[in-house]
């Protein structure tokens, strides 16, 4: 009960004491209006954006090379030297924070790349670190499914398998090459340099590898020669379609595109990615076969 105030009244010479109860404030009904966060707007990337005395991660004033609020180092615009330096500084393989932040990339690779490029780098994994981590997990999964092992093992086949497996590890970068090439051809004049678009391509490639690991789960849970044969025949087709769709989603998030105005650009980038990735895969496979045959003395 709210406190009551004492009131002294002089009533014809009599001194009367009374209590004035405070009115109980009416309860306000909760508002039914739901506030939605503002949609991000396109931000032009330039050197002037990073020439600031405020932290690009949390907005606090900078008094030194590191932010006193969040601990992030003052961000510089991405370039070839920046990519190498930050990859070396943040190369931590099995930290829980790295794995936790890596999981945030899966649904929003474009948003993560956008925030990373614009300077919010403390809470996001470096794209090269994330890609290497994803490739490591994929190789473990492929080892359990015997996906690359020859069907008719022999001494020559085992030697050939070892050579093919060694060269095939580099094939996991073909998606990033195709993604970067398609982005550069369509969106190179949108204010982002090659290193910044490459960061987006590497994040996309990490998501592609995560999709590939999910695609391998049936072979791990229910392995059979028939399923393995079907999987090898059809998975390149539907996986290319899924990766193309994910690339277009990432580009829309990264560039904050309007589908009605820029939808044709997304479709063009997706078509270029699918064509370039397919062609690169065919050329790489042919080159590996020729190289292995040459090493085998055939």
Please report, in tens digits, the pLDDT of each residue of the chain (298 residues total): 445 444 444 445 444 444 445 554 544 444 445 555 556 666 667 777 788 889 988 889 988 888 888 888 888 787 766 666 665 555 544 556 666 777 888 899 999 999 999 988 888 888 888 888 888 888 777 766 655 555 555 566 666 666 666 666 667 778 899 999 999 999 999 989 999 999 999 999 999 999 988 888 888 787 777 887 888 788 889 999 999 999 999 999 999 999 999 999 999 999 999 999 999 888 888 887 787 777 776 5
3-state class (DSSP) for residue 42: coil
- End-to-end Cα, the chain, rounded Å: 96
pLDDT digits (tens, 9 = 90+) for 46-88: 777 788 889 988 889 988 888 888 888 888 787 766 666 665 5
Q: Which residues fall within 8 angstroms of residue 14, CB to CB, at 6 or more apart?
A: none
Helix (H) or strand (E) holding 113: helix 109-117
Nearest to 24 by CA among 47, 1, 57: 1
**Where are the alpha helices (H) located in 118-221, listed in sequence order?**
127-145, 155-168, 174-187, 194-221
CA 118 to chain CA mean position, Å: 14
Domain residue ranges in the chain: 45-76, 78-296
Quote the pTM value.
Answer: 0.68
- Residue that the structure tokens 């392995």 belong to: 223
What whole-number distance in Å separates Cα of residue 160 and Cα of residue 166? 10
25 C-beta neighbours (distance < 10 Å), count: 7
Here the contacts of 99-103 (C-beta below 8 Å, separation 24 or greater) are 99/133, 101/125, 102/130, 102/133, 102/134, 102/206
């Amino acid at each position: 009960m709210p406190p009551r105030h004492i009131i002294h009244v002089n009533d014809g010479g009599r001194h009367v004491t009374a209590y004035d109860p405070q009115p109980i404030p009416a309860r306000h009904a909760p508002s039914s209006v739901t506030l939605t966060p503002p949609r991000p707007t396109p931000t032009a990337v330039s050197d002037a954006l990073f020439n600031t005395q405020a932290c690009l991660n949390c907005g606090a004033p900078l008094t030194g090379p590191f932010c006193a609020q969040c601990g992030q180092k003052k961000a510089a615009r991405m370039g070839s030297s920046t990519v190498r330096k930050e990859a070396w500084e943040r190369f931590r393989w099995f930290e829980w924070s790295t794995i936790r932040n890596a999981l945030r990339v899966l649904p929003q690779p474009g948003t993560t790349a956008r925030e990373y490029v614009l300077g919010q780098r403390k809470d996001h994994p470096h794209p090269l670190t994330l890609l290497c981590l994803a490739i490591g997990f994929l190789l473990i999964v492929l080892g359990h499914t015997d996906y690359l092992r020859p069907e008719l093992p022999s001494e020559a086949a085992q030697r050939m398998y070892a050579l093919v497996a060694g060269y095939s590890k580099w094939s996991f970068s073909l998606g990033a090459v195709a993604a970067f090439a398609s982005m550069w051809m369509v969106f190179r004049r949108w204010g982002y340099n090659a290193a910044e678009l490459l960061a987006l391509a590497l994040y996309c490639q990490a998501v592609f590898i995560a999709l590939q690991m999910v695609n391998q789960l049936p072979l791990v849970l229910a392995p059979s020669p028939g399923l393995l044969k079907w999987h090898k025949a059809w998975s390149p087709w539907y996986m290319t379609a899924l990766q193309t769709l994910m690339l277009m989603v990432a580009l829309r998030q990264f560039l904050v595109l309007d589908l009605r105005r820029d939808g044709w650009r997304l479709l063009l980038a997706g078509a270029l990615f699918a064509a370039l990735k397919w062609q690169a895969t065919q050329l790489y496979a042919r080159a590996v076969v020729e190289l292995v045959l040459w090493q085998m003395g055939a």
